[in-house]
Chains A and B, each alone.
Chain A
Amino acid sequence: MNAIQDLLTLMFFPGGLFVLALGMSYEWIDRKLMARVQNRVGPRWFQPYADIAKLLVKEEVIPADSNRLLFIALPILALAGALTAALYVPLAGFDPLYSFKGDLIVTLYLLSLLTVCTGLAGANTTDRFSLVGATRTLTQLFSYEAPFLLAMLGPAVAARSWQINEIIADADGQWLLIVQPVGFVVALIGLLGKLEIAPFNAPEAETEIVAGALTEYSGRGLALFRLGRHVELVVGLTMVAAFYMGGVSGLPLFVLKTLLLLLILVGIQSLVARLRIDQTVGLWWRWGTLLVLAQWLALVIWEGVQA
């Protein structure tokens, strides 16, 4: 009985299909808002579903020079990583499905799995655009990962716990972005980097390297990567909202807070040009990391004084 219930939770609700649907809905909201900002009509609500469905039924062409096993396995691994990460966050206002000490670190690394898989997928083919894209993807990963991680650890330090629901419980509805503004900003911009959206979309700059690391992907592989990206969008928004905006207990609050964040993301996305990869790295290591480290130091000292 328990096994069946577990299976249902994992497969349909609130894991599995529900997460996918949520991811695609948020993707649609992102695209629609973006379009409205740019004076376009934008897609209808089912467009992300239609895109994925179309990609799933299309023929998948596997380049001759690539490792077939890796080519097929990487998208699956990427999506699996994103879906697993979703199990540890308070998605849609529900308590996390699973929780243990240190799940914050695990979640953050599961989220990075998608990016690593994208990079490896690019490096797996001999296509020039893919190779350049893969280099850029991984370079970018190394530039935003540390500051993003530190930004997420800020609330954890304040709560003296590495467990997501304990951190949220500790904040007790307080908006941490007021006491840790730098962490909030870095986390939000780090999310832009994670999702490879403007201004951090150099790894898939279509005017330079076509589709970047995923240039050779078509059909199912591309669909899985894109699903992974959609899920990551929701998970990332949930985490930032939960940590910095006083938790997301209950569906209405969840929707409100994540949409607010999404609106900010769309705003940034539509107002900026693409940064070159060297500029991205410079931005993160010169400003992002230093600022968040400074805040972290202040936080640790403050905690020490209090104790």
Chain B
Amino acid sequence: MDTTVPQRFVVPIGPQHPALKEPGHFEFTVDGEQVTGASVRLGYAHRGIEKATEGRNWVQNLYLLERICGICSHVHATAYCLGVEKLAGVTPPPRAQAIRVLVAELERIHSHLLWLGVAAHEAGFDTLFMYSWRDRETVMDILEALTGNRVNYSANLLGGVKFDLTSELTDKIYKGLELLEERTYQYVDVVTSDATLLQRTRGVGVTTREQAEQLGLVGPTARASGVERDIRVEAPYAAYPDFPVKVVTATAGDLEARFVVRLQELFEAYRLIRAVLEKLPPGELQARMPRKIKPAETVSRVEAPRGELFYFIKSNGTDQPERIKVRTPTLCNLASVCVLAVGSQLADVPMILAGVDPCFSCNDRMVTVYSGDTDHTQWTWKQLRQYGIDYYRR
């Protein structure tokens, strides 16, 4: 064993680590089980999307931007469409706007159930993880029946949506919602009463209202601390003016509150979906869009499952954008992890991390792949294996 013990004992979490299914790199300095320092490094899932948008036309970008994230793809496309439609002065038909809301809320259900499972897994509660992911299949099936895809639904078009609702689909959604609603009651019961889970969530990672505002938290993470910040209410977009949302907040600011807020938002999503299905406005699905857009700029904000998603879009009179800036909710929330982690137990860190529902592919989106210098040729499997052996026998 190495005799020189480093002064600072650093536990790396990521880029490859079982706590994070996506690559981010955190370094936690620990003293025993106590965390005394934290730093974050991102960018392991860079795809250079912001740069890439500048070389594609408006329609192509829709599909590119939808692929920023596999979980909340619809909100990215919605934010982009709403922004571009505003630039072009096009108003999409009300039926299309309502369907956008419908898909957005279905996506929120899928995202929150996914998070519930991940967070339960971080707490070592694998049974809850398995159950919530099983139930998530219900909403995935609905999304597949609606759009043909389980993820990256491509529901949006510039100026409208791609598909219409039939009565069979409506029935399927109603049925699915009934099942999910019943299950969600059970989950609320579990996360607020299971003794072992509460030991890991109650009073852990507490963010006060002041802290939440200072750290610039958004979405359910902020709402769990009592900050009423929800773009669907503050600046209603798409069909949200017709289908108002009730903001769910909690005051405790700990992990339990984050569980409860996300689960209560599920009930709100079920209610909204039912409302949309009942009062779906008739009419067209798409408005005509011009190919080129005169020079202008706009800001488009939507409420993603994880919080406020910000798009800044600037056009330059051609069929390509001048600049598209994407600020995802995870970036706002991630910075808080480093602050909250300091002083907590190492065992709680994955929970705190999962508590903000980080989405790294959302976050890492803006760098072009670096081709590197040429003598770094591709390695064959044999070379790689030999390198590994040499490295360890060194």
Q: How far is the CA of A281 from the CA of B368 in the complex (A)?
A: 50
Chain A residues within an 8 Å CB radius of B284: none
Partner of A273, one of B2, B12, B124, B394: B124
Partner of A40, one of B18, B130, B194: B130
Let me know if A115 is at the binding interface, CB within 8 A. Answer: no
How many inter-chain contacts with C-beta < 8 Å in the A-B complex? 100
Which 9 pairs of residues, A with B, have the shortest CB-CB distance? A274-B124, A273-B125, A38-B130, A207-B19, A272-B196, A273-B196, A273-B197, A276-B347, A273-B123
Let me know if B199 is at the binding interface, CB within 8 A. Answer: yes
Assuming the A-B contacts A63-B392, A126-B2, are A208 and B196 also in contact, with contact meaning beta carbons closer than 8 angstroms in the complex? Answer: no
Chain A residues within an 8 Å CB radius of B121: 207
> Which of B2, B120, B391: most chain A Cβ within 10 A?
B2
Q: How far is the CA of A124 from the CA of B2 in the complex (A)?
A: 10
Q: List residues of A (198-232) whose CB comes within 8 Å of B's CBs.
A: 198-199, 201-202, 205-210
Let me know if B171 is at the binding interface, CB within 8 A. Answer: no
Let me know if B33 is at the binding interface, CB within 8 A. Answer: yes
Let me know if B200 is at the binding interface, CB within 8 A. Answer: yes
Residues of A within 8 A of B (CB): 37-40, 61-67, 123-126, 128-129, 131-132, 135, 198-199, 201-202, 205-210, 270-279
Query: Contact flags (1/0) for B1-13 with A, using CB distance below 8 Å?
Result: 1100000011110
B346 near A132: Cβ-Cβ < 8 Å: yes
- Listed by A's residue number, 18 A-B pairs whose Cβ atoms lie within 8 Å are A38-B131, A39-B130, A61-B392, A64-B393, A126-B1, A126-B2, A128-B12, A135-B32, A198-B124, A205-B124, A207-B121, A208-B347, A209-B11, A272-B194, A273-B124, A274-B125, A276-B199, A278-B33
Q: How far is the CA of A207 from the CA of B124 in the complex (A)?
A: 8
Of all chain B residues, the one with the shortest Cβ separation from A282 is B199
B346 near A208: Cβ-Cβ < 8 Å: yes
Of all chain A residues, the one with the shortest Cβ separation from B16 is A210
Q: How far is the CA of A125 from the CA of B2 in the complex (A)?
A: 9
Q: In the complex, how many angstroms separate the beta carbon of A269 from the nearest chain B beta carbon?
A: 9
Chain A residues within an 8 Å CB radius of B130: 38-40
Q: In the complex, how many angstroms separate the beta carbon of A74 from the nearest chain B beta carbon?
A: 13
Q: How far is the CA of A208 from the CA of B350 in the complex (A)?
A: 6
Partner of B18, one of A64, A131, A207, A279: A207
Assuming the A-B contacts A202-B347, A208-B347, are A273 and B11 also in contact, with contact meaning beta carbons closer than 8 angstroms in the complex? Answer: no
Assuming the A-B contacts A64-B394, A132-B346, A273-B196, are A38 and B18 also in contact, with contact meaning beta carbons closer than 8 angstroms in the complex? Answer: no
B345 near A38: Cβ-Cβ < 8 Å: no
B350 near A207: Cβ-Cβ < 8 Å: yes
A208 near B394: Cβ-Cβ < 8 Å: no
> Which of B120, B346, B347, B392: most chain A Cβ within 10 A?
B347
Chain A residues within an 8 Å CB radius of B1: 65-67, 123-126
Of all chain A residues, the one with the shortest Cβ separation from B135 is A39
Let me know if B348 is at the binding interface, CB within 8 A. Answer: yes
Query: Contact flags (1/0) for B357-394 with A, using CB distance below 8 Å?
Result: 00000000000000000000000000000001101111
Q: List residues of B (23-43) whose CB comes within 8 Å of A's CBs.
A: 30, 32-33
Chain A residues within an 8 Å CB radius of B393: 64
